[in-house]
Amino acid sequence: MSAAPRRARRRLLVTLGLVALVIVAGLIVNARRSPPRVPTVVEALERGAFVREVTGTGIVEALEERAIGFASAGTVATIAVSEGARVAAGEVLARLDTAATERELASSRTSLASASADRTSVLAQQEADRFDAASNVTAAEEQRGRAERSLGDASRERETVQRLFDVGAASRNELRAAEDAELRARSALTEAERALITARSRQANLASVAAAQRAGADARLAQLESQLANLEARLAEATLVSPIDGVVTGVQIQVGAAVATQSVITVADTTRLRVRGRFDEGRALELAQGQPAIIVPDADARLRLDARVDRISPVAARDAGVAQVSAELSFADGQTLDPAVVRPGYTVTVRVRVRQLEDVLLMPLEAITEGPDGSFVVRVMAHGADGGSAEHVPLTVLERNPTLAAVEGALSAGDLIAVVGLDAIADGAPVSFPRLPGRSGGGD
């Protein structure tokens, strides 16, 4: 190669070197003049369903629970079940001592049989007396009839003799004999009428006496039958049976103990459960019937059981000076409730979903700044994997829960939002942030 080309090449290399030195020097000067990057932490904005919940405490209850007691007082003779036993409807749970009642029952049955026999005897005697009285009345009526006929005959005979006497065809003695015969016949009729009255009066008296005797016998029978029914009922009441299929959840008696009519055994249908939740008055304002809920058993906080609000109490109860509202919740159908962690008396946490918004931007609460002109967030326009420039973006908060807000504004899912050191990040300021997973490249 000639000398001229070599000199031209050296000049070109020197020129390029000088240009490079100028560029590097300019970059160094510019870097020294640029403001420092503000450190922060960013999160990628997500879009999804927003949920706000009201939280309370609750107790699992059986939907059907019966506290059972004896219907009459007595002494406990036997107890056939213990707590935790599964029983069927009609199954015997306990019995009272019935020895005295059975003795009274036997005596009452004997008295009833005797009274019934006495009544039968009285009725038979009354029937005989009634027949005799009726016969006497009939005989007296027949006697009066004969007396009436005799009087008629005697009167006609006396009239005939009177006519004959008047024409001289009969003597005075014959007329007197006819008159005496008529008088005797009239006396006989009077006596027959008196006998009939006596017979009828005796018949009426017998009927009255018989009615009184029957009433007395019937009353005695009714009294004994009532006494017998009461004793039989008391005997039946001495046996305590389960009214439902379920599990014995409480036994409050012992053999030999004297009991009245208070509840002594509790049976619950553990296959049908509900939750009675309690909420502070400030949290209960948004509760409504039909709202979905999540039940978290304290026995296993990993479980999430679906439920629904069925009823909200119209009144509040005060507990330790705080007003609380109770609500009844039912478990959703089709769920398996493990009796080891969900059983009557167990405590749970109740989370009722009071608001849900679908397909909204989900903003961390710590990213939102409340300014004089409204709410805004700091969006970071990334220039690499760990740096970028800040931009204040106004937004509207639709709803909040303890960690997130549902928002709308000039934002999109995937935008990087600053969540730390917001007060130090001016609009347009350069920022740095820890490298996000999945992002590559260098920073400014």
Whole-number pLDDT of residue 6: 58
Looking at the structure, give the CATH architecture of the domain made up of residues 35-63+272-444: Beta Barrel (2.40)
Q: Which of 435, 436, 421 is nearest to 390 (CA)?
A: 421
Q: Which residues contact 204 (CB under 8 A, 6 or more apart)?
A: none
Give the number of other Cβ atoms within 10 Å of residue 229's Cβ.
Answer: 11
Q: What's the rounded Cα separation, in Å, for the pair 174 and 284?
A: 127
Which residues, including other chains, have CB under 8 Å from residue 421's CB and lie 6 or more apart? 38, 39, 40, 41
- Please, which residues bridge with residue 134 across strands? none
Task: For domain 102-237, give the CATH superfamily.
Answer: Helix Hairpins (1.10.287.620)
Task: List pLDDT tens digits, range 324-369.
Answer: 999 999 999 989 899 889 989 999 999 999 999 999 999 999 999 9
Check if the beta carbon of residue 103 is closer than 8 Å to that of residue 269.
no
What's the CA gap between 371 and 384, in Å, rounded? 29
Distance CA 195, CA 147 (A): 12
CATH 1.10.287.620 domain extents, the chain: 102-237
Chain region(s) in the chain for CATH 2.40.30.170: 35-63+272-444
Closest C-alpha among 363, 356, 438 to residue 404: 363
pTM of the model: 0.58
Residue 83: name the closest of 330, 251, 302 by CA: 251
- What share of the chain in percent tops pLDDT 90? 73
* pLDDT of 318 higher than 90: no
Smallest CA-to-CA distance from 351 within 294, 404, 433, 282 is with 294
Q: How confident is the model at residue 23 (pLDDT cuts 50, 70, 90)?
A: low
Q: DSSP letter string over 141-159?
A: HHHHHHHHHHHHHHHHHHH
Looking at the chain, the domain(s) classified CATH 2.40.50.100 span: 65-97+240-266
Question: Which of 77, 69, 82 minimizes the C-alpha distance to 102?
Answer: 77
- Compute the mean pLDDT over every residue in the chain, rounded to the nearest whole number: 89
Q: Mean pLDDT throughout 117-142?
A: 92
DSSP state of 197: H
pLDDT of residue 16: 55
pLDDT value at 422 more than 90:
yes
Q: What pLDDT is attached to residue 29?
A: 46
Element (H, E) at 273: strand 273-280
At 275 the pLDDT is: 97
Q: What are phi and psi of 407, to 5 degrees?
A: -130, 165
**CATH numeric code, 65-97+240-266:** 2.40.50.100
Task: Decide if 309 contacts 288 (C-beta within 8 A).
Answer: yes
Q: Distance between CA 96 and CA 102 in Å, rounded? A: 12
Sorted by sequence, the CB contacts under 8 Å of residue 74 that are 6+ apart come out as 96, 97, 98, 238, 258, 259
112 vs 66: CA distance, rounded Å: 38
**Mean pLDDT in residue range 165-181:** 91
Sort strands 92-96 and 74-79 into parallel, antiparallel or unpaired.
Answer: antiparallel
pLDDT for 21 = 64
Residue that has been written with the tokens 């008529």 in this structure: 182
Query: 182, 155 in Cβ contact below 8 A?
Result: yes
Pairing of strands 38-39, 258-259: unpaired
pLDDT band at 443 (very low <50, low <70, confident <90, very high): very low
Give the model's pLDDT for residue 18: 56
- pLDDT, tens digit, 9 for 90 and up, residues 236-270: 889 999 999 999 989 999 999 999 989 999 999 98
